C-alpha cells in the first residue's frame, strides 16, 4: 500500500494501468480529496492518501487510474 503523504512536488507516480503521473501537492483538509496530481496531457486530478480516485470502495472501477507506486521521492535524489 502507498501513502501519498510521503510525496514531494514533482515526484513521479505510477498508476495500475502504467501511466506516469506527477505529484503536485497535498490539499487542505477542507478539500474534497487529499492530493492534486497532474496527467501527462497537463490536466489535473485528485487522489486519496492511498492513491485511489475515490474514497468509497463501492464506486471504484477497473478503469480508474489508481496510483500503485511512488517512483521518485525527494529523498531518492539526495
Q: How far is Cα 34 from Cα 48, in angstroms, rounded to an integer?
A: 5
Q: How far is Cα 29 from Cα 23, in angstroms, rounded to an integer?
A: 17
pLDDT at 16: 92
Who contacts 74 (Cβ-Cβ below 8 Å, separation ≥6)? 8, 11
- Averages of pLDDT over each 10 residues, the chain, 78 residues: 94 95 92 91 92 73 84 65
pLDDT at 72: 83
Indicate whether this model's pTM tops 0.75.
yes
pLDDT at 75: 58
In the block, residue with C-alpha cell 477497473: 62
pLDDT at 69: 94
Amino acid at each position: 500500500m502507498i501513502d501519498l503523504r510521503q510525496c514531494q512536488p514533482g515526484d513521479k507516480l505510477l498508476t495500475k494501468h502504467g501511466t506516469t503521473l506527477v505529484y503536485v501537492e497535498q490539499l487542505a483538509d477542507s478539500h474534497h480529496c487529499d492530493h492534486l496530481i497532474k496527467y501527462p496531457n497537463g490536466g489535473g486530478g485528485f487522489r486519496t492518501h492511498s492513491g485511489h480516485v475515490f474514497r468509497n470502495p463501492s464506486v471504484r472501477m477497473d478503469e480508474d487510474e489508481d496510483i500503485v507506486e511512488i517512483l521518485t521521492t525527494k529523498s531518492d535524489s539526495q
